[in-house]
Amino acid sequence: MLNPYSALKEQFQRIARLDHALTFLQWDQLVMMPPGGNDTRSKSIAELTMMRHELLCSEVLGDLLQQAQEQENSDRTQSRSLLEMERSRRRAVSVPGDLVKAKSLAGSLCEHGWRKQRKQNDWTGFLTTFTEVVNLSRQEAKARQAAAPDKFPTPYDALLDLYCTGDDSAFIQDIFTLLKKELPEILAQVDKQANEKKVELLGSFPVEQQKELNRKLMELLGFDFQQGRLDVSLHPFSTGDRGDQRITTRFRETDFFQALLATAHETGHAGYQNGLPAEWDGLPIGCSRNMSIHESQSLLFEKQLFLSKPFLSFFTPFIHQFLPQTGKWSSDQILSSATIVRPSLIRVEADEVTYPLHIILRFEIEKELINGTIEAADIPDLWDAKMQEYLGLSTKGNYREGCLQDIHWTDGSFGYFPSYTVGALNAAQLFAAITRKFPDWSDRLKQGDVSFLRQWLDKMIWSKGSSLESQEIMEEATGEGTNAAYLLSHLRSRFLEDRQ
């Protein structure tokens, strides 16, 4: 007969197998599935989601967890594993099963409609399904808050905890307040770039050639195509399990560089996911810590690694090889044009200086939406007002490039957006630690050597799984918790001083 902890591990590994099935059903739904399959697929996903929820909430699992916690135990790893199991169960039992299923169905319906509604600039049509997603998300937030009122001061905090675990809204608000103060000054100082002559990285770039170039970038960044693949989707993303990483990007025939940035970003996600500790497979302790750490990995690969002057100088000959029409541009010209600071409407195409302002806008809106101080119908006007205030741009009547541009809210992923900017802070801080550890980092990147960086990340981040809280991971890796000074220093260095 298994002891309680061993029996618990078996229960959580069953849940992990359901997660595996859900992961690839959802990937197929977003990437390969014909539109006519959405209704049946959505019902299947909702059913599996409900089964997962029931397993987590079962009395059997609850009894095993209590027995394992009551046993004397000096094994630190097991103690931490039990804490993460308890966290997973607590999150599940706080939300009724019928609400879990209803939200899954509503999210699938809303996301499927969004694909066409965004293209058609149809906010009114989107609102018909999105209102229900908001309603169910509010119910979920209140249920989660009620289960832990001391932990979650507002309903929004309860959803934020799902993505930014350990980094609450007060912590994030302090960071964003500082960025709202400092970024406009940096933006004003780099306005002089508007007077500099820069090449436009535009032309006609066949998608098939771009795909080969992106695959080459993934390979150079350490991606193993025996354990993953690259596909195309409307919104770039990375998902998968160990040994089967799925990356998607999107291509434009007139602009080859945006796809490269997205691919580098998603390769960072895949590196983290595939690098999680194998000995903890199927257990909560073996999962990624939170999205703030996850995004730090993707942004480090995209902004600190790929966009570094030494690595891009190494990679430029491959750009010329796969896209010969780019041969007229040097690596310096490509870097200069790829790092133009210019307020724009689209978050995923924003430069590093203005990107956090896009996130702050979303954070402020979704917090009010979930806490009930605004309604879904209020979003377009609020979006336009904040875009004008933060970036000097208007989205009035332009929903496609305004509040319909992102996929995150369609399935009720409220609380996700802040992780992008907390991740950017973490990425800059982690890269600063790497450069201190490896003084010859620039010479290595000039040769295309990223192995030292991946090995350091594996040791300091990937192998930790969820054995530590996010701020503990940052402290062990860098000597301190998340500190906005590193991102601000990085931005000043890249855009106001030396281009590194």
pLDDT of 368-411, one tens digit each? 999 999 999 999 999 999 999 999 999 999 999 999 999 999 99
pLDDT at 89: 96
Residues 212 and 296 in one domain: yes
In three-state secondary structure terms, 352 is coil
Residues 56, 107 share a domain: yes
**What's residue 197's pLDDT?**
66
Q: Are 139 and 212 in the same domain? A: no
pLDDT tens per residue, range 53-85: 999 999 999 999 999 999 977 799 999 999 999
Let me know whether 113 and 237 are in one domain.
no
Mean pLDDT of all residues in 171-187: 95
pLDDT tens digits along 195-218: 566 788 999 999 999 999 999 999
pLDDT digits (tens, 9 = 90+) for 13-33: 999 999 999 999 999 999 999
Domain containing 33 equals 4-149
Query: What per-residue confidence (pLDDT) applies to 195?
Result: 53
Q: How open is the CA angle 165-234-269, to the nearest 5 degrees?
A: 35
> Does 325 share its domain with 448?
yes
Q: Could you give the CA distance from residue 58 to residue 389 in angstroms, rounded to a whole number? A: 49
154: in domain: no
List, for residues 264-305, the tens digit of each pLDDT value. Answer: 999 999 999 999 999 999 999 999 999 999 999 999 999 999
Task: Give the sign of the dihedral formed by CA 76, CA 79, CA 83, CA 84.
Answer: positive
pLDDT tier at 156, thresholds 50, 70, 90: very high
Contacts of 124 (CB under 8 A, 6+ apart): none
Closest by CA position to 335, among listed 452, 238, 445:
445
Q: Is residue 233 part of a domain?
A: yes
Is the Cα torsion angle 326, 332, 337, 339 positive or negative in sign? positive
Instruction: Give the pLDDT score at 263.
Output: 97
Q: Are residues 314 and 439 in the same domain?
A: yes
| DSSP-assigned beta bridge partners for residue 246 | 229, 239
If asked whether residues 136 and 175 sit together in one domain, one would say no
pLDDT of residue 74: 79
The CB-side HSE value for 195 (13 A sphere, CA atoms) comes to 4
Mean pLDDT of the region 127-131? 98
Q: Which residues pair with 228 in a beta bridge?
A: 245
Q: Are 55 and 92 in contact (CB under 8 A)?
A: no
Tell me phi and psi for residue 85, to 5 degrees: -65, -45
Q: Which residue matches tokens 């027995």?
A: 67
Report the chain's mean pLDDT, rounded to a whole number. 95
Band the pLDDT of 499: cuts 50, 70, 90.
Answer: very low
Which of 114, 149, 184 is where one domain is finished? 149
Q: How many domains does the chain have?
A: 2
The answer to whether residue 157 scores a pLDDT higher than 90 is: yes
* Best CA proximity match to 455, nearest among 441, 466, 469: 441
| Helices 155-163 & 169-189 angle (0-180, nearest 10) | 70
Would you say residue 298 lies in a domain? yes
Could you tell me how far CA 239 lies from the centroid of its own chain?
10
Q: What is the DSSP letter of 440?
A: T
State whether 143 and 251 are in the same domain. no
From residue 101, give the alpha-carbon distance in Å to each of 46, 53, 63: 5, 9, 25
H helices of 221-276, in order, are: 257-275
Of 117, 149, 181, the residue at which a domain comes to its end is 149
CATH of the domain at 294: 1.10.1370.30
DSSP letter at 318 equals: H
Element (H, E) at 228: strand 228-232
Torsion of CA 45, 47, 50, 56, to 10 degrees: -80
Could you tell me whether strands 244-249 and 237-241 are parallel, antiparallel, or unpaired per DSSP bridges?
antiparallel
* pLDDT reported for residue 73: 79
Query: How would residue 349 be classed by pLDDT, with cut points 50, 70 and 90?
Result: confident
Question: Residues 144, 93: contact at Cβ < 8 Å?
Answer: no
Q: Is the pLDDT of residue 346 over 50?
A: yes
d(CA 95, CA 425): 32
Same domain, residue pair 20 and 126: yes
